[in-house]
């Protein structure tokens, strides 16, 4: 049989590719990338820049497309998202392996806080201030997800967020660049493990580049208007930390930044990320964000949108199809040089090589491995420990917590007591074939914990939303029969998350009215607040004797809550974000400027920077969180009081556990630059240490202060440490400063 020219070319190409792959060891990855690139047509190159949603699930507005399979066969798709489970990823990969060049697909997924084993939402984990635990949580998620065929997580979200109205505040690490950077780094290391290419490693994706968390009014996807200084000092550091930790990819964002949409923002992507920071990975757009630039109004059509995004440095187009439909024409019209496309393709191929997908496209499609990884009891235990570390004790009057294990009758009341899936919070993954039975409800958790002597009563009381109080009477009856009441209330898991901004962040419905009635019984009431954001709950804060902020804790929620309630875990979490008294205070954050007319207390408001009707302070400040024990700070020492820019100061402080329980304390170090060439914040977190102390034990914590910790962006945006006086504060929170000292930086 005669073979056509095309068939012969095809055979030669495949032989060449095989030759390239087989001689892998002898070539560097860059050479392998180049050798593949040389074989690619423009259409195939553009295909690598194209990412589609699989039809299994959707995390954005879906474009129905019945030709996806055909496109994969033609090598016109580089990656799929929302395709999970080895059976499904294998099936798609098999299709890609029938394409001319057999370039493997990448499978991306939002693995935000666990895959099957769900860990606490990221903001909750941030409360642990425990970098090892946070890293381990991401590692566990990567172990499960990589076994389920996924190569790439769209996490961590490292956006600083100072506005709890913004629904995605739940997905980040809070308000502070220093803590946020440490957490960004821990999460990237956790997801990626030792190196890309290891069987249980996922590519991380630092998102959303940049400033997405500063959406005006806390409304998701809204515009962002900010100074370069704020961008560099507050919003960019966690991205830089993620990059330094090796983040393989970045995702740009839906917002514009000072009038230029991030997706088409050359300053962000080419100048900063790929230029100044020398990022070698690739940038994926956010879902449809290339095409959405038309709505922003700085491009007229998809053709211009594609031109803007590729020129600015967006390498992969998630779901907008603008690249697929316009890049070839743009090249033909000489608007986009092929070199620009080649650069984007090479970045993507590089990661596919590093992951080992060219050597074995089915490397992550082992069903037996998947099964084992998704049924690992060690993961469950880790999720339970992480959940306990994430619970913040906000109030504990008369030490009513921990509860005695001899308590006779407990009334467990509220709309969230028996809820199951709610505990997973937003951004959980629908894992094929897994129902939600493995999630431990709060009711189940308490039942697992209580002793035989204890009777557990239940009443729902009310729903999360709505004004129906018909269940109150039953709840009050249960409360009257009990020795202690636990009320579990808060928001629904889908009230925070993407596109879940709220203008009213009070505890919804009649839940606080229910609390009022329960308190009227005279019984001690412990309140659990389940939420994805800082809520406003002044009645509760003023009247409930004990409050645990539980956030959304994941699959082991019930067990972890029970561990904390009964003192098997002594709470150690501290808030990574300020909790306001009212939405009227937003944005409220601890590292603000002093102003020319600072309000140092709430009693002197006249001609001071204050509210006439509200405190200037938050309800609960950054860094705040109680323990069942107490800690005394003493003997603060500085090795020097004067340093030059090559020297450093050793700071030591003794911490004593003065209570009756073993516990952990996060000691926080803040610095204030007293006089700068530009205004400096009243305090900035510059270090922290979390230590464990037995009852009565004393440990010394030490910190080092060097030039780096004293530096900031001056008026010309140069990173400098200016000579002068500094204040040093050691505290148990940003407000509870236990020791102060001063030192000087000299030339
Ligand atoms: C849109 C979100 O903004 C982004 O964070 C996410 O990764 C993508 N959708 C994909 O689900």
Cα angle: 275, vertex 278, 282; to 5 degrees: 95
Measuring from atom 11 of ligand 1, which residue has the nearest CA?
59
Instruction: Quick: pLDDT tens for 337-389.
Output: 999 999 999 999 999 999 999 999 999 999 999 999 999 999 999 999 999 99
Measuring from atom 1 of ligand 1, which residue has the nearest CA?
287
What is the 291 CA–ligand 1 centroid distance (Å)? 15
Q: Is 328 exposed, middle or buried (0-12, 13-18, 19+ CB in 10 A)?
A: middle
DSSP state of 658: -
Please indicate whether residue 319, judged by its CB atom, sits closer than 6 Å to ligand 1: no
* Domain 631-745, CATH among 3.20.20.140, 2.60.40.10, 2.40.10.10, 3.40.710.10: 2.60.40.10
Number of C-beta neighbours around residue 723 at 10 A = 12
Report CA 90 to chain centroid distance, whole Å: 29
pLDDT at 739 over 80: yes
d(CA 314, CA 301): 17
Going 727 to 732 to 733 to 738, the CA torsion angle's sign is: negative
The preferred substitution site among 56, 154, 285 for testing ligand 1, maximizing ligand atoms within 8 Å of CB, is 154
pLDDT at 21 over 80: no
Give the list of residues 6+ apart from residue 8 with CB closer than 8 angstroms, or none: none
Cα angle: 78, vertex 84, 87; to 5 degrees: 95
DSSP state of 633: E
pLDDT at 149: 98
- Sheet of 152-153: strands edge to edge? 152-153, 106-109, 79-81, 50-53, 317-318
* Domain 379-585, CATH among 3.90.650.10, 3.80.30.20, 3.40.50.2300, 3.40.50.1700: 3.40.50.1700
Instruction: Quick: pLDDT tens for 84-139.
Output: 999 999 999 999 999 999 999 999 999 999 999 999 999 999 999 999 999 999 99
Please indicate whether residue 52, judged by its CB atom, sits closer than 6 Å to ligand 1: no
Instruction: Quick: pLDDT tens for 670-707.
Output: 999 999 999 999 999 999 999 999 999 999 999 999 99
Instruction: Quick: pLDDT tens for 590-624.
Output: 999 999 999 988 888 889 999 999 999 999 999 99
Catalytic residue among 286, 315, 317, 563: 286
CA distances for 722 relative to 237, 671, 677, angstroms:
20, 14, 8
Burial of 525-542, coded b for 16+ CB within 10 Å and e otherwise, reads: bbbbbbbbbbbbbebbbe
Closest CA to 315 of 276, 355, 277, 351: 351
From 6-20, 233-247, 510-524, 730-744, the region with the lowest mean pLDDT: 6-20
Q: How confident is the model at residue 1 (pLDDT cuts 50, 70, 90)?
A: very low
Task: Name the average pLDDT for the chain.
Answer: 95
pLDDT at 606: 86
Query: Mind giving me the DSSP string for 432-470?
Result: TT--GGGS--HHHHHHHH--TT-EEEEE--S-SSS---T
Average pLDDT rounded to a whole number, residues 396-414: 97
pLDDT at 3: 44
pLDDT at 437: 75
Average pLDDT rounded to a whole number, residues 471-483: 98
What is the 60 CA–ligand 1 centroid distance (Å)? 7
Can you identify the CATH homologous superfamily of domain 38-368?
A: Glycoside hydrolase, family 3, N-terminal domain (3.20.20.300)
Please indicate whether residue 498, judged by its CB atom, sits closer than 6 Å to ligand 1: yes
What is the 286 CA–ligand 1 centroid distance (Å)? 6
pLDDT at 24 over 70: no
The two tokens of residue 644 are: 């030059």
3-state secondary structure of 502: coil
pLDDT at 51 over 60: yes
Instruction: Quick: pLDDT tens for 557-579.
Output: 999 999 999 999 999 999 999 99
Q: Is 286 a catalytic residue?
A: yes
What is the 498 CA–ligand 1 centroid distance (Å)? 8
| Higher per-residue pLDDT: 15 or 397 | 397
Q: How confident is the model at residue 26 (pLDDT cuts 50, 70, 90)?
A: low
DSSP state of 60: S
The two tokens of residue 609 are: 């920077």
Going 304 to 309 to 315 to 318, the CA torsion angle's sign is: negative
Query: Is 138 within 8 Å of 177 (Cβ atoms)?
Result: no
The two tokens of residue 53 are: 């949603």
């Amino acid at each position: 049989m005669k073979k056509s020219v095309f068939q012969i070319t095809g055979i030669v190409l495949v032989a060449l590719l095989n030759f390239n792959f087989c001689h892998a060891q002898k070539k560097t990855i860059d050479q392998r990338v180049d050798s593949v690139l040389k074989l690619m047509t423009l259409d195939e190159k553009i295909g690598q820049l194209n990412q589609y949603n699989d039809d299994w699930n959707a995390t954005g507005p879906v474009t129905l497309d019945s030709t996806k399979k055909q496109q994969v066969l033609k090598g016109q798709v580089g990656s799929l998202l929302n395709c999970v489970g080895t059976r499904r990823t294998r099936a798609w990969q098999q299709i890609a392996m029938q394409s001319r060049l057999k370039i493997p697909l990448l499978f991306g997924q939002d693995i935000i806080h666990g895959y099957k084993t769900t860990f606490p939402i990221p903001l909750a984990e941030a409360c642990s201030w425990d970098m090892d635990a946070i890293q381990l949580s991401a590692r566990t998620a990567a172990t499960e997800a990589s076994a389920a065929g996924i190569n790439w997580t769209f996490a961590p979200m490292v956006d600083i967020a100072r506005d709890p109205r913004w629904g995605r505040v739940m997905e980040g690490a809070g308000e502070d660049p220093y803590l946020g950077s440490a957490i960004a780094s821990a999460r990237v290391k956790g997801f990626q493990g030792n190196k890309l290419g290891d069987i249980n490693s996922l590519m991380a994706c630092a998102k959303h580049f940049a400033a997405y968390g500063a959406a005006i009014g806390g409304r998701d996807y809204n515009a962002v208007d900010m100074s370069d200084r704020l961008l560099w000092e507050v919003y960019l550091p966690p991205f830089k930390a993620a990059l330094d930790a090796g983040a393989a990819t970045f995702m740009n964002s839906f917002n514009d930044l000072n009038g230029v949409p991030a997706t088409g923002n050359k300053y962000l992507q080419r100048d900063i990320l790929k230029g100044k920071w020398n990022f070698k990975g690739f940038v994926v757009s956010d879902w449809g964000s290339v095409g959405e630039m038309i709505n922003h109004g700085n491009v007229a059509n998809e053709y211009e949108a594609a031109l803007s995004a590729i020129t600015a440095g967006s390498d992969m187009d998630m779901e907008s199809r603008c690249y697929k439909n316009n890049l070839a024409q743009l090249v033909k019209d000489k608007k986009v040089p092929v070199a620009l496309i080649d650069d984007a393709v090479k970045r993507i191929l590089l990661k596919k090589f590093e992951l080992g997908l060219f050597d074995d496209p089915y490397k992550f499609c082992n069903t037996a491995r998947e099964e084992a990884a998704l049924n690992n009891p060690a993961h469950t235990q880790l999720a339970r420990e992480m959940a306990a570390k994430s619970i913040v004790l906000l109030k504990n009057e008369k030490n009513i917590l921990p509860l005695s294990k001899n308590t006779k009758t407990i009334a467990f009341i509220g709309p969230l007591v028996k809820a199951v899936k709610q505990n997973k919070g937003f951004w959980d993954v629908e894992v094929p074939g897994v129902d939600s039975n493995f999630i431990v409800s709060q009711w189940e958790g308490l039942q697992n914990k209580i002793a035989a002597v204890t009777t557990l009563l239940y009443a729902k009381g009310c729903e999360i939303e709505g004004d129906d109080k018909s269940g109150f009477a039953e709840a009050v009856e249960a409360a009257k029969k009990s020795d202690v009441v636990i009320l579990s209330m808060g928001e629904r898991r889908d009230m925070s998350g993407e596109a879940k901004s709220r203008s009213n962040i009070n505890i919804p419905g009649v839940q606080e009215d229910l609390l009022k009635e329960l308190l009227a019984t005279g019984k001690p009431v412990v309140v659990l607040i389940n939420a994805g954001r800082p809520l406003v709950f002044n009645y509760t804060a003023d009247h409930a004797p004990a409050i645990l902020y539980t956030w959304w804790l994941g699959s082991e929620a019930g067990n972890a809550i029970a561990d904390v309630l009964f003192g098997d875990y002594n709470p150690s979490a501290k808030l990574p974000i300020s909790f306001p008294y009212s939405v009227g205070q937003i944005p409220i954050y601890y590292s603000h400027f002093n102003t020319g007319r600072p309000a140092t207390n709430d009693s002197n408001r006249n001609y001071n920077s204050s509210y006439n009707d509200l405190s200037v302070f938050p309800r609960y400040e950054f860094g705040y969180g109680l323990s069942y024990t107490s800690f005394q700070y003493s003997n603060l020492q500085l090795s020097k009081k004067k340093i030059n820019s090559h020297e450093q100061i050793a700071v030591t402080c003794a911490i004593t556990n003065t209570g009756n329980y073993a516990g952990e304390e996060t000691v926080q170090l803040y610095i204030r630059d007293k006089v700068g060439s530009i205004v400096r914040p009243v305090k900035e977190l510059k270090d922290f240490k979390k230590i464990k102390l037995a009852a009565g034990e004393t440990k010394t914590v030490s910190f080092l202060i060097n030039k780096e910790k004293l530096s900031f962006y001056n008026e010309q945006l140069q990173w400098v440490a200016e000579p002068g006086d500094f204040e040093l504060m050691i505290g148990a929170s940003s407000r509870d400063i236990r020791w102060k000292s001063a030192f000087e930086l000299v030339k």
